[in-house]
Amino acid sequence: MYPEFRSSVYGIIFLGVPPDAKGSLGNQGVAMLGTDDLSDTPLISALKRDIRWLHDQIGRYDQICDEFVVKYFLESDGTSATSRLPPTDIQKEQLIPLNRTHGMMARYASADDDDFEKIAKCLVNMVEQLRD
Q: Tell me how many degrees the CA angle 86-91-29 measures, rounded to the nearest 5.
A: 45
Nearest residue to 17 via CA among 118, 106, 89, 122: 106
Is the Cα dihedral 17, 23, 24, 28 positive or negative?
positive
Question: What confidence score (pLDDT) does residue 83 get?
Answer: 47
* CA–CA distance, 102 with 98 (Å, rounded to integer): 10
The mean pLDDT value of the chain amounts to 78
Q: What is the pLDDT of residues 102-119, one digit of tens each?
A: 888 899 999 999 999 999
Q: How many CB atoms lie within 10 A of CB 3?
A: 7
The residues near 76 (Cβ < 8 Å, ≥ 6 apart) are: 97, 98, 99, 100
Cβ atoms of 95 and 75 within 8 Å: the answer is no
* CA–CA distance, 6 with 111 (Å, rounded to integer): 30
When mean pLDDT is compared across 50-54, 86-90, 103-107, 128-132, the lowest value belongs to 86-90
